[in-house]
Structure 1
């Protein structure tokens, strides 16, 4: 179990961001055999990137000896991703365009890791973009079109971008009033934008605004904060599947 914990990334909030947009794309479109290995390659790729970034970060930080423990997982997850991804590229060459579109965001994340600033607000926001873009990839894998996926992908982007400052107000920046005000302001704007995409989306986004305004400063523990975000993510998935599926 201890080995598993070392290999599986401990960024718990990232798993919802990886899964929900992808699953929304599957549910909005038509299920396809391609979507399952593609999802597995997506998760393996995330694990590879996580360990590679940790290796880069710790190597940069005074040649930290802990960097070595990330080398093997990074290599093995990268190998597994390529082993699964290359046949997928042969079956669906358009996936190369999706990978190319994500590459600049990955480069920015690696740069922040190298500077040991991976928890910077901007870095978190950059990471959200390709994750939400996977809704379009999953939808296309099921025969859908960009036009069909644009609105739900933007809804995912509005929600998950908001989780970046919100979670900071609950944990690392919980004593900074400026962060709380900024988070609430963002969620108010996101509510309006989501309602313009689809009036029904005003329902979950009103709840997201309420939790951003009310929960900071309440002393909630990390597990409860995480549980609330899982519920919020599933709520979004339900509205997207029901409204666009």
Structure 2
């Protein structure tokens, strides 16, 4: 993407602020991680295969189409028209790529039993103008994490215990980011959300300890999830203590570091560390 010149930077920002997102490029930066990581984990834990190329196209373009659809459902009157082009374009490409995947691996349709209900919840929430609800966030996160076993199934690989544990580790982390981020922004200062987020992260850490003790997960996952749980308490507490909210950029950079820790925990086989 080219950067605007010194002569066009200010007007471009003004136009963007006035017109908003046109639907072609998703601007939810946190969602990019949830789209990329599961695909990477699935291919790494299983094995790379030719079918992963159309699968990746269907997955990424499908996310683009979902984003455009959300904007279309949110818009009123004539503004809906501006999102038709990206919605139709991405939708057609997604369908074509999906057909290629199904032709190469017809049994992959079984995952429709998982994706169908999760996507239905997300679409329902978007249609009712609740795209940032907890139900919407968790359903899209779980759909994203389901891509880990999908990548293995598509390649014809067995559904190993390691694959499912890696899926669980990623899902435990991603599901917790929804309430955690809300305690820093939209639900900042809400004691109920704060307690709920911390309780969830402590429970997730306990689950990871159990997996490590059972020899199903690497012990690296334990300190990783202790850090995840600690940040779920410390970040909102520190913001309340100083009376100043965290900048979204600061929260984002922090999550990048935490995501790397969790990714390592998901990829390192048990017994190695």
Aligned to 2:148: 135
Structure 1 window deviating more from structure 2 (182-191 vs 168-177): it is 168-177
Counterparts of residues 218-229 of structure 1 (less than 5 Å): 218=239, 219-229=245-255
Q: Does 2:200 match 1:186? A: yes
Separation in 2 of the partners of 1:85 and 1:73? 18
CA contact (8 A) 1:51 1:73 kept: yes
Equivalent residue number for residue 19 of structure 1: 36
2:232 matched residue in structure 1 = 212
TM-score scaled to structure 2, two decimals?
Answer: 0.82
Asked if the contact 1:20/1:234 (under 8 Å) is kept, the reply is no
Deviations 1:149-174 (A, max 9, x none): 21111111111110000011111111
- Of residues 79-88 and 216-225 in structure 1, the stretch that sits farther from structure 2 once superposed is 216-225
Residue 172 (1) aligns with residue 186 (2) = yes
Aligned to 2:83: 70
Please give the secondary structure, in 2, of the residue aligned with 1:243: coil
Question: Larger C-alpha radius of gyration, 1 or 2?
Answer: 2
Output the aligned Cα RMSD. Answer: 1.9
Asked if the contact 2:102/2:108 (under 8 Å) is kept, the reply is yes
**SS where residue 155 of structure 1 aligns?**
helix
72 and 202 in structure 1: CA distance in 2 versus 1, 3 angstrom threshold = same
Return the alpha-carbon distance in structure 2 between the equivalents of residues 163 and 18 of structure 1.
14
Q: Match for residue 6 of structure 2? A: none
* More moved, 199-208 vs 127-136: 199-208
User: Quick one: distance in 1 between partners of 2:85 and 2:108?
Assistant: 27
* Matching residue of 2:45: 28
Map of 1:122 onto structure 2: 135
Q: Which runs of 5+ in 1 are unaligned?
A: none
Bigger drift between 140-149 and 41-50 goes to: 140-149
Higher relative contact order (CA 8 A, sep 6+): 1
Give the Cα–Cα distance (whole angstroms) in 1 for the partners of residues 194 and 128 of structure 2.
26
Give how far 1:36 is off: 2.6
Residue 43, structure 1, aligned to residue 60, structure 2: yes
Shift of 1:124: 0.8
| TM, length-normalised to structure 1 | 0.91
Bigger fraction of residues in helix: 1
C-alpha distance after superposition, 1:85-119 (max 9, x if no partner): 21121011122222342011111111111111111
How much does 1:212 deviate? Answer: 0.4
Task: Give secondary structure in 2 for the equivalent of 1:83.
Answer: helix
Distance 1:209 1:104, change over 3 A: same
Q: Which deviates more from structure 2 when the two are superposed, residues 41-50 or residues 64-73? A: 64-73
Structure 1 residue 131: deviation in Å? 0.5
Give the distance between the partners of 2:157 and 2:256, measured in 1 at CA: 27
In the alignment of these two chains, the number of paired residues is 240
Q: Distance in 1 between matches of 2:258 and 2:27?
A: 20
